[in-house]
Amino acid sequence: MTLLLSLIVASGEANATVNIVTSTQDLAALATAVGGSDVKVDYIARGDLDPHFVDAKPSYMVKLAQADLVLAVGMEMEVGWMPSLLTGARNPKVAQGSAGYLDLSSTVKKIEVPSGSIDRSRGDLHPEGNPHYWLDPENGRLMARAIAAKLTALDSAHSADYAKNLATFESTLTTKEAGWAAKMAPLKGSNVIGYHSTFNYFCHVYGMNVIGFVEPKPGIPPTPAHTLEIGQAGKAAGVKWIFVEPYKDPKDAGPIASMTGAKVLAMPTSVGAETTIKTYFDLFDALVSRVAG
């Protein structure tokens, strides 16, 4: 009887599923790619919504209460909602600083880390740098590696699965990156305007210059004076596009487009931003085809 119970327990451990909750759909897509059938993945912030602002719903606390692992973007992306959700979940396994909480910003290459004093006069500025780092595909590679390492630490019984899934992801990413780079190469040196600094990583990777933003400061709505200023600057720079997130109003970019002749492009920011974008690779396929097309 004792032997039978031991076998049942051992079998249960071998087939255990790691319950992962991610802050965004991008992280959920990466966790699914690396975890495969050995994990169950859910997320909080939908890909078509602004991840800076999420209502702290009780249903999210229930998700976190049942989690074995929480994956976060970090760099204060979720500062307005994740701490209160974790407190409400009362799950010590995934509290910030625990083995079950992984801030992926600690694993990536960051840009635009501000210098000097950080205060509200500079807008909604992130003191650790631009947090939209998932829009650099090489950061996706680093994030996937970190997720695989964390899953291996939490669930060593399936370490071979995680290693195999990671290798498949990296191989596909390498092939995809070559294709994206080839399509984007003719656009190197192009000048663009963003609405927010969301696409700065994407532009940095492919050699495009972001000369300004529809927002006068991060998180601050556009003003007539700023619109005129950025429109004049954009015209002088020969701006080709104005990139607008799915949760921003493209009408705000209209006057700038009229002044510059630039095309307003509705750009997906995340997995799930559009119904056809279901994986991390889908996201870059959509971005590259929209710009290079």
pLDDT band for position 10 (cuts 50, 70, 90): very low
For 58-103, what is each residue's pLDDT tens digit? 999 999 999 999 999 999 999 999 999 999 999 999 999 999 999 9
pLDDT band for position 9 (cuts 50, 70, 90): very low
Beta-carbon contacts of 48 under 8 Å, excluding residues fewer than 6 positions away, are 246, 247, 270, 272, 273, 274
* 17 and 38 housed in the same domain: yes
Q: How far apart are CA 47 and CA 22, in angstroms?
A: 12
* 283 and 207 housed in the same domain: yes
Residue 4 has what pLDDT? 38
- Which of 159, 176, 193 marks a domain boundary? 176
Q: How far apart are CA 191 and CA 231, in angstroms?
A: 13
Residue 12 has what pLDDT? 39
* 99 and 242 housed in the same domain: no
For 175-196, what is each residue's pLDDT tens digit? 999 999 999 999 999 999 999 9
Instruction: Give the lowest-confidence range in 35-39, 118-122, 239-243.
Output: 118-122
Count CB neighbours of 20 within 10 A. Answer: 28
Evaluate whether 192 touches 198 at the Cβ level (below 8 Å). no
Evaluate whether 284 touches 176 at the Cβ level (below 8 Å). yes
Q: How far apart are CA 208 and CA 185, in angstroms?
A: 10
Place of tokens 């921003």: 248
Domain that holds residue 155: 2-176
Average pLDDT for residues 115-136, to the nearest whole number? 74
Question: What CATH number does the domain containing 260 carry?
Answer: 3.40.50.1980
pLDDT band for position 126 (cuts 50, 70, 90): low
How many domains are there within the chain? 2
pLDDT band for position 43 (cuts 50, 70, 90): very high
- Checking if the pLDDT of 202 tops 90, the result is yes
- The amino acid present at 168, given as its one-letter code, is T
For 130-179, what is each residue's pLDDT tens digit? 999 999 999 999 999 999 999 999 999 999 999 999 999 999 999 999 99
Q: How far apart are CA 282 and CA 275, in angstroms?
A: 10
Residue 53 phi/psi, 5-degree rounding, is: -125, 110
Residue 218 has what pLDDT? 85
* 24 and 168 housed in the same domain: yes
* 157 and 282 housed in the same domain: no
- Which of 114, 143, 176 marks a domain boundary? 176
- Which of 143, 161, 176 marks a domain boundary? 176
Q: How far apart are CA 143 and CA 31, in angstroms?
A: 9
Residue 51 has what pLDDT? 95
Residue 85 has what pLDDT? 98
pTM: 0.91
Q: Where are the beta strands (DSSP E) in the chain?
A: 18-24, 39-45, 69-72, 101-103, 191-194, 209-213, 241-244, 263-266
Query: How many alpha carbons fall within 13 Å on the CB side of residue 98?
Result: 16
* 46 and 99 housed in the same domain: yes
pLDDT band for position 114 (cuts 50, 70, 90): confident
